[in-house]
Structure formats: C-alpha cells, structure tokens
Structure 1
Amino acid sequence: MTTATKILPTPVIDETVRLLTEHYVFPEIAEQLTGLLRARLTDGAYDVDDAEELARLVTEDLQSLNGDRHLRLKHHAEPVSPKEGEATLAAIRGDFDTSLGGAPRVQLLDGGVVVVELAPMLFPLDWAAEPLGAALTLASRARALIIDLRTNRGGDPDTVAFVCSHLLDERTHLNTMHWRGGERREQSWSQPHVPGPRFGGSKPLYVLTSESSFSAAEELAYDLQQLGRAVIVGERTRGGAHPCRGWTVHPHLEATIPFGRAVNPVSGTNWEGTGVRPDVPCTAAEALDRAHELALARLAD
C-alpha cells in the first residue's frame, strides 16, 4: 500500500542534493540540478500529498537538463531498507524467482534456430550465472541463435560480460567504465572460459530489441553490434548508458544516481540518449519473425 500521510519534502530534497553533489558522474550538471531542486522546493512545487507524486515531480526535474534516464527518485509501495542498494535488490528478487533466473524461455524454432529470452533483467551475476549458464549451454547446439531483449529493463554489467562470453571465441574487450572525476577506469572483458560448451563466435546471431530495452540490455546489444558479432533486429532502445546506485532517502523513496559512464572500445562512445539503433528496423512485435527469416536465409546460403 502507498503512503497515505502528507510527505515532508525538505529532508528528501536535502538528501537528494547531497547525493547528487557527492556522486553524480557529471559534477557540473549536479551543481545545476541542486540549484533547480532547491528553487523548486522554495517555490512550493514539491508540496504534495504523497511520496509517489513527489517521486514523479522530482524525477521530471532531475531528467530535465540532460535527459539521463538513470537519474531518478523511485517510489516503492512498501517500505525499503535504508542500506545502499538494498531497496533495488529487494524489489528485483521476486522477478528473479518468477522468471527462471532471468531466462524464462528457451525455444527451438524451425531450421535449428533457437530463441533465448533474457527477461525481465540481467540479474546480478552471483544470482544469475547458474540459470543463464544452463540456458546458454542448452542453446549452444543451435545452428543460429536469437537473443530476445525486447522486455529487458537492464541489470548487471558483469552479467552482460558473462552472456557475451558464450557468444565469442576469444577473450574480448567489451566496454570501459569511466568513474566520476575521470581518473579511475574499469575495463569489462568477456571471460576466457564458460561453464559448459559455448555457442561461439561464428554461427549466426541475432538480438531483438524494443523501445523498452534499457541499460545493461542495451549494453549487451551494443557490445555485440560494435564487435560485428550480432545483427540487431527491432526498435531503437531507450538510451541509458550510465551505471547507477540507489540510496534510500525516505522509507518509500530511493534516489538512483549514475556515478560513471560507459565507453565502447570500438565506437569510442556509447548509447546514452541515442539508444541502440537496429541493423534491421521493424516493430518489436515483428522482430522475432524477421530474425527467424534472416537466420533461415543465412543458413540456406
């Protein structure tokens, strides 16, 4: 159930401003946003009846300067843990348990083409390695593979690397994270070994996307596209490339703030704001049939 009493916005805004100042990957934008939030607070724009409405208003303002879709004030119907990141983990655990660990469908289509749906998230790797490894091992015998990310809303970059490791033959540089301040960087590479046979780097591979595909799902599609490993089929994705963390600022509110930016080693940039552009544009509803047709034609050749 949602909160019924009127929320006091000042402590929420004060804590959100503090977190922006300390953590947001773009300090100059953080400074502008803190001024905006304080001005809106003074003007009474946040004098609302409940936490859900406050979350909506603050999120609109947070995203108003540079459109960063990871920069949010998230509402949780149930009270959440005050520990950093615990609110997000608690919210997604139920999704993990009801989606077979993030691989709800492995399906054999005509012609030896297999579909593996990864949804609704790429869950933390310590949760997801076993179920995703099982699904990808089962799919490794396919003549062609379709990875369905149309309903995937993001997740863990380590899980992106784990999936890529099953789809490549050699250890490969996938991405570099540039943390706030620009001095510290962290590279992401595919793994040299996987727990079982891999689909590998030579057989036909297609990735399905939609306008709902987001964050880590976009990274998976983008990494494979930039490497020339996969054909992206479907719609342009939402465009969120900044890794973020969550901090509880009220029993029902979590501020998610990006603290880094992704840089692809091939393109030298990322998909922030632009989304991943499909190689074969079509509606999300048509994407599976279109990819299957492309796979069958490639195999016939």
Structure 2
Amino acid sequence: MAKALFVVVFLLVFGNVAVVTHTAFPPSLIVDMVNIVLDNYCSPEKLAGLKEAIAAASSNTEILNIPDGESLSRVLSAGLQTTISDPRLQVSFEPDFVPVVAPQMPAPEQLVAMLQHAIKLDVLEGNIGYMRIDHILGEAAADKIGQMLVDLVWNKVLPTSALIFDLRHTISGDITGLSYIVSYFTSAESAIHIDSVYDRPSNTTTKLMSMATLLGERYGTTKPLIILTSKNTKGIAEDVAYCLQNLKRATVVGAQTAGGSVKVGQFKVGDTDFYVTLPTAKSINPITGSTWEQTGVTPDVNVNAEDALAAAVKIVQLRLQVPAIIEGSAALIADNYAFGETGADVASKLKGLLERGDYSMVVSKSGLEEKLSADLKSLSGDKNLKTTSKTPVLPPINYTPEMYIDLIKVSFHTDNFENNIGYLRFDMFGEFEEVKAIAQIIVEHVWSKVVNTDAMIIDLRNNLGGPTTAIAGFCSYFFDADQQIVLDKLTDRQSGTSTELQTLTELTGPRYGSKKPLIILTSGATAGAAEEFVFIMKRLGRAMIVGETTSGGSHPPKTFQVGDSDVFLSIPTVHSDSTLLPAWERSGIAPHIPVSAAAALETAKGILNKHLAGQN
C-alpha cells in the first residue's frame, strides 16, 4: 500500500515539476507523516502494509525536490487520499500556524444569546413544528443552560403535531450532544444503544446510549419527525440523522450529506511547517454495523436541498391523515368484506399494525397505498382486497349493428376439430343487459358454429372475468329446458341479502343441452366471473375441468372511498355458496385433470376423441 502511495506521488510530481539537484525539505518528512497516520487514523485496518514501507519511504527523496511547501502538501494530500481511499486526509503547509485554543465556555447569558441566533423556530400551518439548528451543543453546554434551552426553545415545539428538524446548514457540533437529541425522540422505558464511537489514539470504544432522564418532556415516539439534509450537513449532524433514521424514528429528506467524521485531529509533522489533518475516531452504528462517514447519509426521500422543506411538509400532512385512513379502511372491511369473519379479523389486525407504528414511515400516497394493499393481501389471503383508483364513469358507446358484429368476431374464437368437437374461446364476460341486447347477433355469428357439435371445449385460459350478471344465462345453454336448476347461492355482505342463481327458462337460440360432453380449459389467469362459471359447472358435474388451478379471484369487487380522503378500496362484497365445494374465492378451483395451461387443449382433444371413438 505504501508503494502505491509513493508511485502516485512520483507520477504527480514528475509529471508537472522539474527535478532539482537538492532536496528542499528534510528526508524525515514522509516518514514522520506516515507515522502520524499509522498512530492516529480511525480505521487501522486500511493501513496494512504501510508500516513496513517506512524504511523505503525514507530513501525516496525525489519528492522532496518540490521547491515550495504548498505544492508539496497538495501532492502529499493526493497521495494519502488515493492510497487510503479517504478524501478526509489532508496535508497542509502552514508556516504561520497559530494553534487553536479551545474557547472557554461562555456565560449562560452569552450561550442563550448565541442559541437564539443559531436556532430558528416556527410553527407552520397544520401545527407542524420547524426547528433549524446550525450547531449541536455538547453535554457541558447542555448541562449549563439546559433549563433555559427547554424554556426558550423546546417548549415551543413540544405541543406541535409533527416536527421538521432542519440540519441542512449544520456543520459543527459535539458528539456528546448526540444522546441528548436522540433521547428526546425515543422512549424512556429502556436504554437504547444509539452509536459506538471508536477513538484511535486511545484505542477505546464508547457506547452511546439513550438517556433515561431529561429536562423537559420528550417529543415521543409516534409524532412524525422529518430531518432535512444537504451536502453541507456534516459531522455530528450526520450522526444524528443516521441514528434516528436507522431507529426508524425519523425520515431523512433532502440531499446526500457530506460524509464527514465524528472527530478530526490536526498533527504537526516533526519540526516542519507541515500538518496532517485526519479523522481520529469513527462512528459504528449498532443497527447497520456500518457508518455514514465518507459516504454520507442517504436520504429516504432524495430531493434538492432547497426543495426539502416543501417535500417534508407534504409528507407530514400525509402522515397526519394516516390514522384516519387506516381506521376508516378497517371499518369498511369489517362492514362490507364478503367473508364476515375474515373481514373482522383483517380489520382488527390492520388497526394493530397502525398502533405498532407500521405506517409511521410512509412518505407518499402511492407508498401508503402500496403498503396498505400488501398488508390487506397478507392478512386476508385475497389479492382482490386492495387499494384502487377512482375510475371515472365513461359515457356509453352507441354501437351500430356492423360495429357489434366486428366486435363479436374479435372477442370470440370458434373452431371445429375432428370428430365434430366444437371449440369456443372468449376472454371476458359481459354485462347481462349488454349481452342480452346483442344475443341474436352472438347466436348467429358465434353460437351457431358450435351448437351442433358432438362435444365442446370452452377455453377460459385467458378469461380475466368481468360482470357475473350473465353467468346464469350462459350456464343455462348447457342444461335442459324442462327443469330449472339452482346454480349457486350468492351472499351479499353489504346488503345482507342472499340470492339464488337459477337457470333461465327462455334463451335466445338453441341449447347445447345436458347430455353432450363438455370440457372447460383453465389456467392460473382464469379469474372472477370465469371462475364462477367453472365453479358452477364443476359443482353440478356438468363439465370436466382440464388445466391449472384458477386465479382465486372474486365476484366483481366494489369501490369504497375511505372517509374524506382520496384513498379508495376495492372490496369483494359477494361470495358463492361453499356448502358443497370449497369456496373458489381466494384459493381458486382445482381442475379434474391437472396439466399445464399450454398442454390443456391437446389433453382435452385427446380425452374427447377417445370418448367419441368409444361411442362409435
């Protein structure tokens, strides 16, 4: 690694600077510099091999021919940064260096004046608190003016419904202030391991814990907390953001932070005017096992820093609506979901997720809807119980007879296979009144082509469902007219009514009857109304089902608005009679002959050909 350092340095130097015959700086410069790094750099694991190369470095005098200190310091900085892959290491040339004297703690009155200047407070519309802090106080300062800080600052934001914590301009702070800040947003019941800080010079690791006792009240664990960041957010401010982000207590909104350090030291290189500045400590988060240093804190919502406040306000406004949306969703499901017992269970568990804080970190309406849909599916086992959009009602289309004929030709596919086996495929069910109006056209252009066959294959492998109002009529073609048959019993949870679905006594065109063989093809895509048809025909023993287990959909769900929000739920409200067969809703219908959807047609043809050959 050290060799890499000197190769980089060599190329940088001799690509741009002429070589002279004497060295301008002492040969020990590089050795002393490397020793400082070895003894103080926060990540010693990245320095493997550096120590062994010090001897070689002492003889590498070419670099010392650079005639001025500032040029040499830039080359040395570049070499260190490239070798260790850390841009925080800096070498400077400071002949007029003045040691930094730690300032004395100001008097309380001066501290308060400084705080009032450095902290900006506001209460935005909707009782949203806003607090900007440009310097994070340490333990000593907090102890000295803690009560005044509570009275002048904290108590003004404590009553707000949500808080936006602006760290976009925070470039300084004291690591001992981390526990204070984090503790105000966590619970007092148990200590939380917030951070671990490894200090290289002392070779010690300090565990930072949340505090059991604080001045003033805590903000709590449930009210929304947003932290704003920018590329200027640095050091302890990054640690605050990273800790609260990984505790799932705050959402970070803004730009990637600077990637600074919890502690930086500056060291004089021997008796020269060169100084090495480097991170001497590092933060290791107990949750991620990683750090924000060098890479910075990645925001949960990445926007330009100047747009972060507006984005945060939108997030808070959404989160303040979330409890009402979740509770309203639970009530709608409990009152309307087709299976009452399941609906009550889903509603209870959904409110439990809300109380547990599962919805506390949503950042957008789409994210809320996506999570709510996923939770409803998980809790109910029903993919049709979900959020949906409010679909506008489209005006009816006035079709001409010619347009209907063209539409029917596209929507239905017929064929006649060997041994007079009819084939009928359609991929969606229509509304009864619409179908009734064009029944004669369907009979002439579709049904007449298959009704006189000796057996029939109905292909529903691509049928996605549709209204179930035409199911009774379609089923009726496959039963005789001399008796009326109860096809299914439908229970409507919303209205609290039950309806018997029966065969129709009058039909347009001839019936296929109850005697001729009938096979229905299914796939995992067969859904909704198509499943209701398959369910009835299997239940009454009228058809053989060949293919795959169906989708496990539902009767057409209804759309419900959740309270006054713009969130809508799709809720199945009707279920079929499952006293003779298991309910097809949620689980689908198993075929008599399970084969892949691709093989279903050939399998059905083989079965019917064999059957018809046996009859002959």
Deviation at 1:189, TM superposition (A): 0.8
Matched-pair contact (CA < 8 Å) for 1:176–1:188: yes
Q: Does the residue aligned with 1:255 lie in a helix, a strand or coil? A: strand
User: Which of residues 124, 136, 141 is equivalent to 2:447?
Assistant: 136
Partner of residue 573, structure 2 = 259
Matched, 1:207 2:501: no
Partner of residue 245, structure 2 = none
Matched-pair contact (CA < 8 Å) for 1:154–1:214: yes
Q: Does the residue aligned with 1:174 lie in a helix, a strand or coil? A: strand
Partner of residue 126, structure 1 = 433
Partner of residue 362, structure 2 = 47
Q: For residues 218-237 of structure 1, what are the structure 2 equivalents within 5 Å? A: 218-237=531-550
- In structure 2, distance between residues paired with 1:175 and 1:264: 9
Matched-pair contact (CA < 8 Å) for 1:101–1:128: no
Deviation at 1:220, TM superposition (A): 0.8
Q: TM-score by structure 1 length? A: 0.79
Q: Does the residue aligned with 2:514 lie in a helix, a strand or coil? A: coil
Partner of residue 117, structure 1 = 425
Q: Tell which deviates more after alignment, 282-291 or 240-249.
A: 240-249
Matched, 1:57 2:371: yes
Task: Identify unmatched segments of 5+ residues in structure 1.
Answer: 91-95
- In structure 1, distance between residues paired with 2:570 and 2:559: 4
- Distance 1:276-1:158 versus aligned 2 partners, 3 A rule: same
Q: Tell which deviates more after alignment, 142-151 or 129-138.
A: 129-138
Matched, 1:72 2:386: yes
Deviation at 1:274, TM superposition (A): 3.4
Partner of residue 297, structure 1 = 610
Deviation at 1:25, TM superposition (A): 3.0
Task: Identify unmatched segments of 5+ residues in structure 2.
Answer: 1-310, 397-403
Q: TM-score by structure 2 length? A: 0.41
- Distance 1:48-1:290 versus aligned 2 partners, 3 A rule: farther
- Distance 1:28-1:202 versus aligned 2 partners, 3 A rule: closer
Deviation at 1:150, TM superposition (A): 0.6
Q: Which amino acid aligns with 1:167?
A: F
Deviation at 1:117, TM superposition (A): 1.0
Deviation at 1:21, TM superposition (A): 3.5
Partner of residue 190, structure 1 = 503
Q: Does the residue aligned with 2:430 lie in a helix, a strand or coil? A: coil
Matched-pair contact (CA < 8 Å) for 1:101–1:123: no
Partner of residue 100, structure 1 = 408
Q: Does the residue aligned with 2:519 lie in a helix, a strand or coil? A: strand
Deviation at 1:186, TM superposition (A): 0.6
- Max Rg structure: 2
Q: Which amino acid aligns with 2:575?
A: R
Q: Does the residue aligned with 2:489 lie in a helix, a strand or coil? A: strand
Question: What is the number of equivalent residue pairs in this alignment?
Answer: 281
* More contact order relative to length (CA 8 Å, sep ≥ 6): 1
- In structure 1, distance between residues paired with 2:528 and 2:591: 16
Q: Which amino acid aligns with 2:593?
A: V
Deviation at 1:80, TM superposition (A): 2.7
Q: Does the residue aligned with 1:105 lie in a helix, a strand or coil? A: strand
Partner of residue 475, structure 2 = 164
- Distance 1:101-1:61 versus aligned 2 partners, 3 A rule: farther
Matched-pair contact (CA < 8 Å) for 2:334–2:346: no
- In structure 2, distance between residues paired with 1:251 and 1:150: 38
Task: Encode CA deviations 1:15-37: one digit per residue, 9 max, x unaligned.
Answer: 43342233123444334433444
- Distance 1:225-1:13 versus aligned 2 partners, 3 A rule: same
Matched-pair contact (CA < 8 Å) for 1:102–1:123: no
- Distance 1:137-1:191 versus aligned 2 partners, 3 A rule: farther
Task: Encode CA deviations 1:125-154: one digit per residue, 9 max, x unaligned.
Answer: 122343694333432112211111111122
Deviation at 1:229, TM superposition (A): 1.1
